Amino acid sequence: MPAKLQGRDEIVINAPVERLWTLISDSKELENWGPPVRGVTLIDCQRGQEKIGSCRRVGYDFGGKRKGHYFERRTEQVPGKRIAFEIYEDSGPILKVLSRPGAALDIEPAGPGKTRVVFSFYHDPKGMGRLLNRFVILPDMRKNRLAALQSLKRWAESGKT
């Protein structure tokens, strides 16, 4: 059973579903559009052969002391529709305050050459996370989701590969 849904945001992007699927399903593409991402290393798969159970190391830099990395496992994959991950190890405070943190990206056609992207974040607060969730974690996660969606939109609409 997945963790509790903690936030969801969406955007319409002027690019076809196929373009968005490539950008969200290929982990190396995250380096191009993920605002805090400073590198992705595939752990147990060849590029182009990612599947449910595949893992990746994601380096991040949110500024200041908020730099590090986390390891994610792909938990869902519905080609052309949905991709989901769960963090299972990190170098920072994520797993100290959250249990089963993860995210999902859902895509669907939104008209000719347009795609609706829904970015959802899941976790169960634990320990100090129960106190921090409402006033610190949730607003921070929302800010990061919105930034990621805007960045994904810019990259997808630029047509760069």
Position 55 scores a pLDDT of 93
Q: Rounded to an integer, what is the distance from CA 68 to the centroid of its chain?
A: 16
Kind of pairing, strands 98-109 and 55-61?
unpaired
Position 48 scores a pLDDT of 57
Kind of pairing, strands 37-42 and 5-13?
unpaired
- Blockwise average pLDDT, block size 10, the chain, 161 residues: 92 98 95 93 75 94 88 96 97 94 98 98 97 96 96 94 67
Position 62 scores a pLDDT of 84
Domains in the chain (CATH in brackets) are 5-158 (3.30.530.20)
Name the pTM for this structure: 0.93
Count Cα neighbours of 87 within 13 Å in the Cβ-side half-sphere. Answer: 23
What lies within 8 Å, CB to CB, of 26 at 6+ separation is: 47, 48, 50
